[in-house]
Amino acid sequence: MNQTHQTSTPRRAPGFPRLLPRGVPLHILLPSLIAAGAMLVPLVYLGLRAFEADSATLLDLVFRPRNLQLLLNTLALAAGVVALTTLMAFPLAWLVTRTDIRFKKALTVLGVIPLAVPGYVMAYALIGLGGNYGVLAQLTGIQLPRLQGYWGATLALSLYTFPYLFLNLRAALAGLDGNLEESARSLGYSRGETFRRVTLPHLMPALMAGWLVITLYVLGDFGAVALMRYEAFSYAIYTQYSGAFDRVYAAWLALMLLALATCFVMLDSLVVKRKLARIGTGVARPMMPQPLGRARFLAWPYLVALFTASIGLPVMILAYWLLLAPPDLSFFARVPGTLLRSAGAALPAALLAAAFALPIAFLTVRYRSPFAILVERSAYIGYAIPPLALALAMVFFSLRTAPFLYQTLAMLVITWAMASLALALGPIRSALLQTRPSMEEAAHSLGHGPISTFTHVIFPRLRRGILAGVVLVFVLCMKELPITFLLAPTGYTTLAVTVFTRTSEGMLAEAAPFAAAIVVFSSLSVGLLLTKEGK
Amino acid sequence: MMSNLNLKAAPQGAPTRLPEPLLSVGGLHKRYRRQDPLAVEDVSFSLDNGEILALLGPSGCGKTTTLRMIAGFEHPDAGEILLRGQDVTRLPPQQRRIGIVFQDYALFPHMSLGENVAFAMRHVPKAKRAAKAREWLDLVGLADLAARMPDQLSGGQQQRVALARTLAAEPELVLLDEPFSNLDAALRESTRKEVRRLFKASGTSVILVTHDQAEALSFADKVGVMHSGKLIQVDRPERIYQAPATSFVAEFLGHTNLLEGDADGEIARTALGPVAIDCHCRGPVRLSLRPEYLTLSSTPEGQGATIVEREFRGHDCFYLLEQHGQQFCAITPSHCLWKVGEQVCLEPQRTATVLRD
């Protein structure tokens, strides 16, 4: 390199790696750095707490046989939920994309609605169904055994999470080039072989993505698992923390859960490396829908069973407790206050998350660099950490470093914002991606500075994305349970906490008004999802 | 209406001094990443008031990077950009008074046409902007559509709005980044003519970036040919075509015959026999001879060149010929037609250009 001749060039000394990208304005760089730094806090504090004990205790903690049992229980739960959701979602996605079944739009909407019923509300409904005093026994006299343990948790989580897999599969099936399958058929492959060798490989990325989301949900879920009294990691962490007060062991369990989640994320990125992009510039042709014929008589009972379980059941249980056997009126009177408490923390968290998501979205879209990718990845830490582990880490952090934050609303708001930053980032980022940089450059060349360009050109384009991000985070926080459980100030009972404690104490009727309020709020996010899907 | 287009007419009877170029670019260098080759290497040129310059080259030759450095969206690693003698190299784009029309037009989709144009008029009092915007739209024949949104327009109309918006900012210089490439072929030619007339009437100085040689030759007063980051030749369109500096320029602008020859004075010996050349030199040279400079005439069997391929193009006819194992191309008027396989005599009629390389 003949560098000495270019002395006029303002160039850095060679061999000095550029850590921070050049030309990123401070108002974008600073919030991004703060957010990325905040994401490291839980990781650091879990580690600090975990290694507090002396080495003999550590060995005892880490190699307890109970840990192995918890691992096996958690894996069994994840496998069960993944298998069950696939059985639920695959036929549904196939029916609405590939067959001539009627009411496809309505079926698609019904396939998304279960997302409005959080896992612990689904568990509440399942618990309320069976047993001696269960709704079924009250209404019909038939007594089902009370669902609990492994099968209860698997069912509650599956009924709530299968829409994630359904949406992924539906998009993949609808986007598949029909010519591919027809080429295979014309080359002499049977329908079954074509499915196995052409269709299925193309669906694998969607399946894996859906499975990963569902697995992370299962690992992170606390409400359904705790209500069903199934000994998975998150339930064990909770009992250690609240009952046994063994904080070091709780930290270790949280670390193990975190490691497990990391394994799944890495496994996923290892497997989905195959290239399945469309080759050639021809126009993809959607498949002709297959006539169902006699299979109709199988399809409709399946659909009725699926939606009765996922939508009908919680609606029926809530309707029963609210209308047929309502609790004392004073319980209804407490709903607005509780709702306000939930919203009073959820709204600041949503605004905080969006306020940090905006500069990070700018950094990753407009100032693409290794540094930007690092910041973007770190934003997903808070989302991928099992919420109980995150909450526990933040407890340790406030006790050790920031005691003024311990058991304050601010702590809850910050942690919620950390857990949901990635959620707010999604819509803002895609809105920004749709705003071409030439738009900003045009404004600059017409004499507008950065502030005028933002208010007149960028913000109007991003408004919808920002609003969507705020709503997504808001709704998540409205129904959030584990973080609230550990971090909310004493006496700050939210909707989710009320439903959980009442249900776990067997006060099903008294929980109903609050569960109904949560379902109403969650429907908001489902509505948002549906309007996006509809486009 | 034309009065508001009289952007920067030089005052009559100004004191006579050396005319300062409007834009002068010197020694521009740009490298995007350290491991990449230079995207722009030592590019220098100047542009006079009211002149239209086309930067022409294949994709990836650095022409758009050069344009973006002039606009202020990229920072050169070295070199300077002077606008009316003032150094603007470090100035942010919004302070340069240089307008740009993007390839995708970059109209703001949430503003009407009138609002798009009014957005450019920071120098005009707010109350007058709407009326003024209509005047600018009138200039491109779209005043009636001022209330429309950009997505309700055809590509050609969007392009004209983008132009009106750029002019409304009353810039010193207008940059066009492949502005006609998104139009279909029929519309492209008429739009090009119209836009050129508009610029010439208003005396606007323009730099156009394009990979279409016909566009560059017909639109610009001056053409600069770029190749792998370097500006190879800047000259009037007819000079660029008739006297290309290198074999790259010769081949990029239409067809040509590249001949190796041995020069002796103003004549060079080549495979086509002695050919007149455009300078006085001696020794081995490389020549460019345009196909329309060759004539075909009948010759006895077994002599001269054989016609290998014929492409009838309406107004003329393009031939591929072979003589002594070497291939040549020639263009003749379409009324003298030869058949494939016929023997013809191939004669250079005009002087060939000696290439630098």
For A19-32, what is each residue's pLDDT tens digit?
Answer: 566 677 788 888 88
Confidence of residue A130 (pLDDT cuts 50, 70, 90): confident
Q: A36-77 pLDDT, tens per residue?
A: 888 888 888 888 877 777 777 777 777 788 888 888 998 999
With respect to residue A186, please indicate whether it lies within any of the assigned structural domains. yes
Mean pLDDT of A117-127: 82
Is B163 in contact with B195 (CB distance < 8 Å)?
yes
Task: Say how far apart CA A510 and CA A533 lie, in whole Å.
Answer: 36
DSSP alpha helix (H) spans, A272-408: 296-307, 313-319, 329-366, 370-379, 381-384, 387-400
Is A288 in contact with A275 (CB distance < 8 Å)?
no
The pLDDT of residue A86 is above 90: yes
Number of structural domains, chain B?
2
Last residue of a domain, one of B250, B276, B307: B250
How high is the pLDDT of residue A187?
A: 67
DSSP alpha helix (H) spans, A3-118: 26-50, 55-62, 65-98, 104-112
DSSP alpha helix (H) spans, B41-120: 63-71, 113-118
How high is the pLDDT of residue A188?
A: 63
Confidence of residue A516 (pLDDT cuts 50, 70, 90): confident
Chain B residue with minimal CA distance to A441?
Answer: B73
Going by DSSP bridges, is the β-strand pair B52-56/B205-210 parallel, antiparallel, or unpaired?
parallel
Are B199 and B325 members of one domain?
A: no
Tell me which chain B residues have a C-beta less than 8 angstroms from the C-beta of A445.
71-72, 93-94, 96, 98-100, 166, 169, 171
- Whole-prediction pTM value? 0.73
CATH number, domain containing residue A526: 1.10.3720.10
CATH number, domain containing residue B260: 2.40.50.140
Last residue of a domain, one of B250, B273, B301: B250
Are B345 and B199 members of one domain?
A: no
Q: A139-159 pLDDT, tens per residue?
A: 776 777 777 788 888 998 998
How high is the pLDDT of residue B290?
A: 92
How high is the pLDDT of residue A465?
A: 83
| Cβ neighbours of residue A222 closer than 8 Å, sequence gap 6 or more | A234, A235, A238, A387, A388, A481, A482, A485
Task: Say how far apart CA A251 and CA A484 lie, in whole Å.
Answer: 18
Are A204 and A350 members of one domain?
A: no
With respect to residue A284, please indicate whether it lies within any of the assigned structural domains. no
Are B67 and B16 members of one domain?
A: yes
Mean pLDDT of A373-399: 84
Tell me which chain A residues have a C-beta less than 8 angstroms from the C-beta of B166.
445-446
How many angstroms away from the CA of A186 is the closest CA of chain B? 38
Is B286 in contact with B259 (CB distance < 8 Å)?
yes
pLDDT over 70 percentage in chain A: 87
With respect to residue B161, please indicate whether it lies within any of the assigned structural domains. no
For A268, the domain range is 64-272+291-325
Are B262 and B240 members of one domain?
A: no
Of A434, A440, A444, A446, which to mutate for an interface test with B (greatest number of B Cβ within 10 Å)? A446
Are B289 and B184 members of one domain?
A: no
How high is the pLDDT of residue B224?
A: 96
Confidence of residue A352 (pLDDT cuts 50, 70, 90): very high
Tell me which chain A residues have a C-beta less than 8 angstroms from the C-beta of B161.
none
Are A200 and A319 members of one domain?
A: yes
> What is the tally of helices (H) and strands (E) in chain B?
8, 18
Q: Extract the tokens encoding A35.
A: 């957010």
Q: Extract the tokens encoding A318.
A: 């809530």
Alpha carbon A179 to its chain's center: 34
For B71, the domain range is 2-97+171-250
A460 interfaces chain B, CB cutoff of 8 Å: yes
Of B30, B95, B100, B172, which to mutate for an interface test with A (greatest number of A Cβ within 10 Å)? B100
With respect to residue B132, please indicate whether it lies within any of the assigned structural domains. no
Q: A436-451 pLDDT, tens per residue?
A: 888 888 998 888 888 8
Instruction: Give the least confident one: A255-269, A349-363, B84-98.
Output: A255-269
Confidence of residue A389 (pLDDT cuts 50, 70, 90): confident
Are B45 and B191 members of one domain?
A: yes
The pLDDT of residue A285 is above 70: no
With respect to residue B85, please indicate whether it lies within any of the assigned structural domains. yes
Are A362 and A430 members of one domain?
A: yes
How many angstroms away from the CA of B15 is the closest CA of chain A? 31
With respect to residue B305, please indicate whether it lies within any of the assigned structural domains. yes
Q: What is the ipTM of this complex?
A: 0.73
With respect to residue B271, please indicate whether it lies within any of the assigned structural domains. yes
Alpha carbon A29 to its chain's center: 27
**Burial of B247 (C-beta count, 10 Å sphere; 0-12/13-18/19+):** middle
Chain-chain contact of A10 with B77 (C-beta, under 8 angstroms): yes
How high is the pLDDT of residue B29?
A: 94
**Residue the block writes with tokens 């492959």:** A189
Q: Smallest Cα–Cα separation from B289: which of B308, B271, B264?
A: B271
Tell me which chain B residues have a C-beta less than 8 angstroms from the C-beta of A438.
102-104, 106
How many angstroms away from the CA of A364 is the closest CA of chain B? 18
Task: Say how far apart CA B57 and CA B252 lie, in whole Å.
Answer: 8
Residue B46 pairs in a beta bridge with B24
Are B217 and B337 members of one domain?
A: no
The pLDDT of residue A274 is above 70: no
How high is the pLDDT of residue B87?
A: 93
Instruction: Give the least confident one: A84-93, A280-289, B5-14, B122-131.
Output: B5-14
How high is the pLDDT of residue B4?
A: 42
Are A441 and A373 members of one domain?
A: yes
Q: Smallest Cα–Cα separation from A134: which of A317, A396, A348?
A: A317
How high is the pLDDT of residue B26?
A: 93
Task: Say how far apart CA B290 and CA A219 lie, in whole Å.
Answer: 74
**Residue the block writes with tokens 């492949």:** B178
With respect to residue B145, please indicate whether it lies within any of the assigned structural domains. no
Tell me which chain B residues have a C-beta less than 8 angstroms from the C-beta of A6.
29, 77-78
Are A298 and A399 members of one domain?
A: no
Other C-beta atoms lying within 10 Å of the C-beta of residue B73: 18
Alpha carbon B55 to its chain's center: 5
| Chain B contact residues (CB < 8 Å to A) | 29, 71-73, 75, 77-78, 92-100, 102-104, 106, 108-110, 119-120, 122-123, 165-166, 169, 171
A25 interfaces chain B, CB cutoff of 8 Å: no
How many angstroms away from the CA of A448 is the closest CA of chain B? 6
Confidence of residue A244 (pLDDT cuts 50, 70, 90): low
Task: Say how far apart CA A354 and CA A470 lie, in whole Å.
Answer: 6
Number of structural domains, chain A?
2
With respect to residue B73, please indicate whether it lies within any of the assigned structural domains. yes
- Amino acid at residue number B134: R
Mean pLDDT of A166-179: 78
Chain-chain contact of B93 with A445 (C-beta, under 8 angstroms): yes
Are A305 and A357 members of one domain?
A: no
Are B53 and B176 members of one domain?
A: yes
Are A341 and A196 members of one domain?
A: no
Q: Extract the tokens encoding B13.
A: 């009877």
Chain A residue with minimal CA distance to B171?
Answer: A446
Confidence of residue A281 (pLDDT cuts 50, 70, 90): very low
Chain A residue with minimal CA distance to B169?
Answer: A446
How high is the pLDDT of residue A6?
A: 39
A370 interfaces chain B, CB cutoff of 8 Å: no
Going by DSSP bridges, is the β-strand pair B222-227/B52-56 parallel, antiparallel, or unpaired?
parallel
Are B200 and B302 members of one domain?
A: no
Is B244 in contact with B355 (CB distance < 8 Å)?
yes
pLDDT in tens, chain B (357 residues): 334 444 444 444 444 455 689 999 999 999 988 888 999 999 999 999 999 999 999 998 999 999 999 998 888 999 999 999 899 998 888 888 999 998 888 888 888 999 999 988 888 898 999 999 999 999 888 889 999 988 888 888 888 899 999 999 889 999 999 888 878 888 888 888 989 998 998 889 999 999 999 999 999 999 999 999 999 999 999 999 999 999 999 999 989 999 898 888 888 888 888 888 888 888 899 999 999 998 888 887 767 888 999 998 888 899 999 888 889 999 988 777 888 888 888 888 888 899 987
How high is the pLDDT of residue B186?
A: 80
With respect to residue A483, please indicate whether it lies within any of the assigned structural domains. yes
DSSP alpha helix (H) spans, A176-295: 178-186, 191-194, 200-220, 223-227, 233-238, 247-271
List, edge to edge, every strand of the sheet that includes B78-83: B40-47, B23-30, B78-83, B86-87
Are A499 and A524 members of one domain?
A: yes
B294 phi and psi, to 5 degrees? Answer: -105, 140
The pLDDT of residue A12 is above 50: no
Q: A103-117 pLDDT, tens per residue?
A: 888 888 888 888 778
Are B224 and B306 members of one domain?
A: no
Q: Which of B92, B108, B169 is nearest residue A439 as measured by Cβ atoms?
A: B108
**Burial of A96 (C-beta count, 10 Å sphere; 0-12/13-18/19+):** buried
Mean pLDDT of A199-205: 80
Going by DSSP bridges, is the β-strand pair B86-87/B98-101 parallel, antiparallel, or unpaired?
unpaired
